[in-house]
Structure 1
Amino acid sequence: MTSSALPVAAGGDPFGPDMLAEPYPHYSRVRDQTPIYWSPFLNSWVVMRYADVKAALLDPRLSSALTRTAQIEHLPAHLREMLVPADTTLGRWLVFQDYADHRRLRQLFSAGFTPRIVQQMRDNIQTLTDDLIDAIVERGQMDLVADFAAPLPVMVITELLGAPQADYALFKHWSSTVGMYFAIGVIGNETTIPLLNQVTEQMVAHIGELIAARRQEPRDDLITNLIAAEEQGSRLDETELIANCILMLHAGHHSTTATVASGIWHLLRDPDQLELLRANPALAESAVEEVLRCETAFPMVVRAATTDLQLGGHTIKAGQQVNVCLAAANYDPAQFPNPDQF
Structure 2
Amino acid sequence: MAELFLPTHRADPYTPCRVLREAGPVHRTPIGLHLLTRYADCAAVLQNNAWSHAEEAGQLHPSISAEDAAEEMPTSFLWMDPPDHTRLRTLVSKAFTPRTVARLRPRIEQLCRDLVDCALDRREFDLIEGMAYPLPLTIVCELIGVPAADHRSAQRWSQDLARGFDPDVLMTPEAHQARSTASREFMAYFRELIDERRAHPQDDLLSALAAVEDRGDVLTETELLTTCVTTLVAGHETTVNLVGSGLLALMRNPGQFERLRAHPEYIPSAVNELLRYEPPVQMTTRSAKEHITLAGHEFQPGDGVVVLINSANRDPEVYHDPETLDVARFHDRTTQPPRHLGFSLGIHYCLGAPLALLEMEVLLHELLDRVGTMELTSEDLKYKPNLIVRGLAELAVRFEALS
Alignment TM-score, normalising by the size of structure 2: 0.71
1:39 to 20, 29, 54: 29
Structure 1 residues not aligned, in runs of 5+: 1-11
Aligned residues: 322
Per-residue deviation, 1:329: 0.7
Contact 1:89 1:239 in 2 (8 A): no
3-state SS, counterpart of residue 263 of structure 1: helix
Q: Determine helix, strand or coil for the equivalent of 1:133.
A: helix
What's the % identity of the aligned pairs? 34
Q: How far did 1:314 drift?
A: 0.6
How far residue 152 of structure 1 moved from its aligned partner, in angstroms, is: 2.4
State the Cα distance separating 1:243 from its structure 2 match. Answer: 0.8
Closer, same or farther: CA 242–123 of 1 in aligned 2, 3 Å: farther
Cα contact 1:14–1:27 (8 A) shared by 2: no
Q: Counterparts in 2 of 1:263-278, with a 5 A limit?
A: 263-278=246-261
Matched, 1:321 2:299: no
Q: Does 1:66 align with 2:55?
A: yes
Q: Which has the higher helix share?
A: 1
Shift of 1:28: 2.0
Q: Is the 8 A contact 2:50 2:288 kept in 1?
A: yes
Q: Is the 8 A contact 1:52 1:311 kept in 2?
A: yes
Q: In structure 1, what is the Cα distance between the partners aligned to 2:160 and 2:227?
A: 16
Determine if the alignment matches structure 1 residue 312 to structure 2 residue 295: yes
Deviations 1:277-327 (A, max 9, x none): 223433221111100000001111111223342111012233332100111
For the pair 1:29 / 2:19, whether they are aligned, the reply is yes
Contact 1:229 1:235 in 2 (8 A): yes
- Counterparts in 2 of 1:130 and 1:84: CA distance versus 1, 3 Å: farther
Please list every run of 5 or more consecutive structure 2 residues that lacks an aligned counterpart in the other structure. 326-403
Partner amino acid for 1:37?
Answer: H
Query: Shift in Å at residue 263 of structure 1?
Result: 1.6
User: Matched residue of 1:324: which SS?
Assistant: strand
**Structure 1 position 330 matched with structure 2 position 306:** no
* Residue 94 of structure 2 is aligned to residue 111 of structure 1: yes
Instruction: State the shift of 1:228 in Å.
Output: 5.0
Structure 1 318/20 Cα, relative in aligned 2: closer, same or farther at 3 Å?
Answer: farther
TM-score, normalised to structure 1, is 0.83
Structure 2 equivalent of residue 186 of structure 1: 169
My pick for the range that moved more, 248-257 or 215-224, is: 215-224
Aligned to 1:241: 224
- 1:204 aligned residue (187, 196, 200): 187
The Cα shift of 1:89 comes to: 6.9
Distance 1:194 1:237, change over 3 A: same
Do the aligned partners of 1:94 and 1:102 also contact (CA within 8 Å) in 2? Answer: yes
Question: Secondary structure of the residue that 2:321 maps to in structure 1?
Answer: coil
Q: 1:109, CA displacement in angstroms?
A: 0.8
The answer on whether the counterparts of 1:160 and 1:222 sit within 8 Å (CA) in structure 2 is yes
Residue 3 (structure 1) aligns with: none
- Counterpart of 1:221 (choices 204, 208, 218) is 204
Q: 1:297 is paired with a residue of what secondary structure?
A: coil
Change (3 A) 1:314 1:206: same
In structure 2, give the amino acid aligned to 1:200: S
**Counterpart position of 1:100:** 83
